[in-house]
Structure 1
Amino acid sequence: MWTRAFGSFFATSGVKFQSELCLRGRSPRLLCSRCADECPPGALDLAGRLPNLQLSRCTECGVCGAVCPVEAFTLLPSPVDLFANTRERGAVRLACGKLPGSGETVRVPCHGYLDVTLLTTLGIAAPRGLWLDTSGCLSCEGRRGFSAAKRSFDAASRLLTVLGLQAEIAFQPDRPQWLGQTNTDVSRRDLLRRLAGKATTAAASLVVDLDRQTEGGQSGLPSKQLPLRRRLLLHILRSGSNQTPEMLAAEGAPWAEPRIGSDCSACLLCVTFCPTAALTAYEDPDHLEITLDSSRCVACDVCAQICPAGAITFVSQLSVADFVSAHPHLIIDFPKIACPSCGQLFISLPQAKLCPRCQKDAELEQDVSSWT
């Protein structure tokens, strides 16, 4: 049985898909296939414009939600609930439902549900350590979920190191020595108390603070939203005093740093289609500039795919300070000059000698001359 994503969403008992967020629905030129490529049971099909879900094959592992850069797929537990429960426990064992639990255990559908952004957040939130218990992964059919989780773990470990945070985080089947021993009965009583009080209050507060905000679309285009996982990570980073001048390798990082080359035609399609408003444009009588807010970039590659001139590339080293500070910085500036034919100001491009109107008139005159 297939459920098609023709409406605003399709949902199983645990997975929700919001088609208005999906990158594939924004333009035929955007061919993101991460969800189908990484789905462990192969339950997602991209034969149409939007993903189709085969309900009988879906295991609700959450890998689709982890790899989707705009969180078109969501399921429980929410990132906010995971954050609140992790912060309250201090030392946390993340485990799927197939493994026995204890008072320190926080359940996740699969370790593949934990992308680099969420893992970094949980690593910071667990003051006495975070253990991803992989003892059940080798016998699990969803091995691609394990592979995705390992990539996220490696990238999160690098990011935590660059941030200067001495977080204990482990991805292994055996209990880490630093996690210590936990009295299960006491932990369960403590867990019930916390869930009834502080943890629930903290989660409810964060839901309000981190609720997705819509910047608004243009001319019927989809609205621009910052994914909840990203908002949660930025919240915890900015609540501390961690400012670092360090650079981070771009591979596996949760954001990217686009560069715009001289072939740019200033069409602003990259700005228009950026799903999170990481790229913005500002124009005044003297110039046009495009800026980047690294904290809003989700490494979706939309800007490069949509650029008709192929002018966008990505750097190999990322500024962590730019990411944490959320201060937009200039990536290209176009001065305006007076058209030598009509005197009107227009954006100066290497390939443009006249303003667009005069250029069209000149081309038309040339065509007419060739006919006579």
Structure 2
Amino acid sequence: MGLLGKWIESLDYQFEILPTCTRHKSPRSTCQRCFDVCKEAAISIDHNIPIISPKKCIECGKCMAACPVQAIAGIFPKRTVVNNTLVMTSADFPTVKELLLLYKNGVRGIISENPERLEDGKEVIDLANSMLEQLGEEPFTVSTDPFEKAEKVYSRRELFSVWHQESQSLMKQAVPAKWRFNHTQLDLAKYYPDFQFATLSVDTKKCTLCKTCEFLCEKNCLTISETGFTINAQSCSACQLCVDSCPEQAIIIEEKVSQVFDVHYPIYQKICPVCGQPYATLREDDQKCVACTKQEGFLSPVYI
């Protein structure tokens, strides 16, 4: 294939699932949000790994919006926005996440001449407006008024400016597709730094401080030091990987909007009287280390 052929081929693209997918990171992951939202059945799960079928995928972007860790790479479909208003020209209604991102980029209204189209999206709009209220923002306005895009008369200087902008846009489209991938823009936490969209807590009666959750969390929401177990959920996207991977099932995640706050659990450093080794625990009244406690439990009559 010549250089021109390779260049043209690079302009095309297919959605792909990256190694940052929680199912790639741990066989315990149960996340299947991309699978659940794909109406084309283009995503299957084989040996715990999600796979996208290029033949079935219509590149609607629903899986990209649904993925909590932005692990589906591609080019998110463009929306028609005029005068800070989202113009619904198709039946493909945006997701709640997409509406919140559009709002952060200045969109304040939603309009469609087809009332049925807005009625189909009513649940999504209501949920988005409910979240906006919790974020201290005004809700979207919704209208079915006829929409006419007004023609504009350009001066000569403005005309050259428009041509310049259009040529820049054309050049952006003429670069390899992977350079234009925008899946990382779908992280809500980056746009609302004073809020968190999930609340994490730890059952201190179960946690053994094994650090599995801390190791697997790429958002760095969980930090275990010698003195404490600290949770900062501002960047948490509720991917559930820490919940699925915790051997003691000690982590709880609740998806809800709230102002950012840290949770801190003190850690106690002790010496085990059985094995004589130092150990850390979240329970002030613990008398033995985890290993000795579990060994004793295994040998007790309850387990025989």
TM-score, length of structure 1 as denominator length: 0.59
Q: State the 1:152 CA deviation.
A: 4.4
- Unaligned 5+ segments in structure 1 are 1-10, 100-109, 139-145, 205-210, 212-225, 245-253, 323-327, 368-372
1:42 offset after TM fit, Å?
0.9
Distance 2:145 2:190 in 1: 30
1:90 lines up with 2:83 in the alignment? yes
1:263 matches 2:206: yes
Aligned partner of 2:150 in structure 1 is 183
**2: CA distance, partners of 1:65 / 1:157:** 22
Distance 1:94 1:185 in 2: 19
| Per-residue CA distance 1:175-225 (angstroms, 9 max, x = gap) | 48xxx75414559x9899579459x79xx9xxxxxx9xxxxxxxxxxxxxx
Distance across 2 between alignment mates of 1:116 and 1:310: 30
Q: Name the CA shift for 1:47/1:257 in 2 (closer, same or farther; >3 Å).
A: same
Deviations 1:145-178 (A, max 9, x none): x97x6654333211212223225343x7x348xx
- The separation in 1 between residues aligned to 2:248 and 2:163, in whole angstroms, is 53
Specify the structure having the higher radius of gyration (Cα): 2
> Distance between the aligned counterparts of 2:265 and 2:69, measured in 1?
25
Verify: 1:130 aligned to 2:121, yes or no. no
Percent identity over the alignment?
A: 22
Are the counterparts in 2 of residues 116 and 156 from structure 1 also a CA contact under 8 Å? yes
Q: CA deviation at 1:27?
A: 1.0
1:283 is matched with 225
| Structure 1 counterpart of 2:109, one-letter code | L
Aligned runs of 1:5-154 on 2, under 5 Å? 13-77=12-76, 89-95=82-88, 110-111=92-93, 114-126=94-106, 129-131=108-110, 133=112, 135=114, 152-154=124-126
Does residue 346 of structure 1 match 2:279? yes
TM-score, scaled to structure 2: 0.70
User: Does 1 or 2 have the higher relative contact order (CA < 8 Å, sep 6+)?
Assistant: 2
Structure 1 residue 310 displacement after superposition: 1.4
1:228 aligns with 2:161: no
**Structure 2 residue aligned with 1:250:** none
1:318-337 matched pairs, under 5 angstroms? 318-319=257-258, 321-322=259-260, 329-337=262-270
Shift in Å, 1:316: 6.8
Opposite residue 154 of structure 1, the aligned amino acid is D
TM-aligned CA deviation for residue 357 of structure 1: 6.8
Q: In the TM superposition, what are the counterparts of 1:287-298 in structure 2 within 5 Å?
A: 287-292=227-232, 294-298=233-237
Does the 8 A contact of 2:65 with 2:186 survive in 1? no
Q: Which runs of 5+ in 2 are unaligned?
A: 1-9, 173-178
> Structure 1 residues 295, 117: CA separation in 2 closer, same or farther (over 3 Å shift)?
farther
Q: How far off is 1:41 after superposition?
A: 1.0
Partners of 1:150 and 1:12 in 2: how far apart? Answer: 36
> Cα distance, 1:56 vs. partner?
2.3
Instruction: Please list the CA deviations of residues 303-350 of structure 1 after superposition, one character each: whole Å capped at 9, or x if unmatched.
Output: 21111111122347542x21xxxxx61243322234345765421355
Structure 2 residue matching 1:296: 3-state secondary structure: coil
Per-residue CA shift, 1:80-135, capped at 9, x if unaligned?
x87xx95xx53233445x69xxxxxxxxxx43xx44333112123336x3326484
Give the partner amino acid of 2:216. F
Aligned counterpart, 2:6: none
Structure 1 stretch displaced more, 255-264 or 329-338: 329-338
